[in-house]
């Protein structure tokens, strides 16, 4: 069995060599072969040069042409990985590579597809990091309908086939465990060590909050309605049409009774609901036809199989 450790980095010239050494020390005496794939996400310092100085540690460097963001960098590493399992780490030395082997034990014992960490005794600032993180995780759990406790924890281990089929874009790396859950993967969570950053500065911080919220909304829609958008849009459209009809029928009754209804704002409300509802319904039909084309033209299955094996071997 082989583990590919994916580490996206941006301007981490002081951390890449110590981190590669820690990964090597943690896994060198284990039962697994391993490779450390460091993805340089458009660094402007000497990060790439420092990686190339690392000798005898099974390290591979992938240099992106520019700064694409952590999700793209992570996806590049996953696409390159050759291991049976894929582990992810941050490049700031705050994750402990020794936790990877504990996660591998959980995968074998629980027969799960993904193990994600829950940072214990976080070595971050209370006001700017811990409190916002707790609030954000609570919102994400509520919106995504999952029980992932710490979405911001970078250390995770996946079966390779699960990791490679997850689509990563925008800020979706934060929701990679949720994406795996939405794909039907069995996810376990364990406490992991968390260390203070000793060098460099955080590159992927809270400044992208609004992008994260946008991706969260998109992820929720994609996970629940991507293969059946008409179930959402059709329901909304029918309700809007019904409200519009009720309003206009009410005004018609008033008109028959002799009331002057011209110029009342409620007329425009009824018209907006009526025609807006029809527009939403037609949009849902269009999206539904597109999704059918997506699956049928590429002969894609609407289901995924976790595993097949003989019960009595």
Enter the pTM of the model: 0.69
> How does pLDDT run across 90-133, given as a tens digit for each residue?
888 889 999 999 999 999 999 999 999 988 877 565 665 566 66
Using alpha carbons only, what angle is made at residue 248 by residues 246 and 252, rounded to the nearest 5 degrees? 115
Q: Which residues contact 141 (CB under 8 A, 6 or more apart)?
A: 147, 148, 149
Q: Which regions of the chain does DSSP assign to beta strands (E)? A: 2-9, 33-40, 59-63, 85-88, 114-119, 156-159, 187-192
At residue 233, the pLDDT reads: 82
Give me the chain's average pLDDT, please: 82
For residues 146 and 36, the model is more confident at 36
Of all helices (H) and strands (E), which one includes residue 268? helix 265-297
- For residues 54-68, give the mean pLDDT: 89
CB 61 within 8 A of CB 38: yes
- For residues 267-274, give the mean pLDDT: 91
> How does pLDDT run across 222-231, given as a tens digit for each residue?
666 666 777 7
Residue 204 confidence class, pLDDT cut points 50, 70, 90: very low
> How does pLDDT run across 135-191, given as a tens digit for each residue?
777 777 777 777 888 887 889 999 999 999 887 776 678 788 888 887 788 999 999
């Amino acid at each position: 069995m082989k583990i590919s450790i994916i580490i996206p980095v941006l301007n981490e010239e002081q951390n890449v060599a110590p981190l590669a050494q820690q990964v090597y020390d943690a896994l060198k005496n284990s039962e697994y072969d391993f490779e450390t794939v460091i993805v340089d996400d458009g660094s402007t310092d000497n990060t790439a040069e420092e990686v190339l100085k690392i000798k005898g540690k099974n390290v591979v460097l992938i240099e992106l042409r520019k700064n694409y963001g952590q999700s793209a960098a992570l996806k590049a590493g996953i696409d390159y990985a050759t291991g049976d399992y894929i582990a992810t780490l941050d490049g700031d030395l705050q994750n402990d590579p020794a936790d990877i082997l504990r996660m591998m034990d959980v995968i074998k014992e629980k027969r799960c597809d993904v193990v994600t960490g829950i940072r214990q005794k976080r070595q971050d600032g209370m006001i700017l990091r811990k409190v916002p993180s707790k609030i954000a995780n609570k919102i994400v759990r509520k919106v995504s309908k999952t029980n992932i406790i710490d979405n911001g924890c970078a250390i995770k281990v996946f079966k390779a086939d699960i990791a490679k089929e997850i689509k990563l874009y925008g800020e979706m790396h934060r929701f990679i465990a949720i994406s795996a859950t939405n794909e039907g993967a069995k996810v376990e969570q364990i406490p992991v060590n968390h260390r203070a950053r000793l060098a460099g500065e955080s590159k992927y911080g809270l400044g992208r909050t609004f992008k994260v919220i946008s991706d969260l909304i998109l992820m929720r829609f994609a996970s629940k309605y991507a293969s059946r958008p008409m179930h959402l849009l059709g329901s909304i459209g029918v309700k809007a049409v019904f409200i519009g009809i009720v309003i206009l029928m009410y005004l018609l009754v008033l008109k028959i009774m002799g009331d002057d209804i011209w110029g009342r704002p409620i007329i425009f409300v009824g018209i907006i609901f009526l025609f807006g509802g029809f527009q939403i319904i037609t949009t849902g039909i269009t999206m539904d036809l597109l999704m059918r084309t997506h699956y049928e033209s590429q002969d894609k299955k609407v289901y995924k199989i976790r595993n097949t094996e003989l019960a009595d071997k």
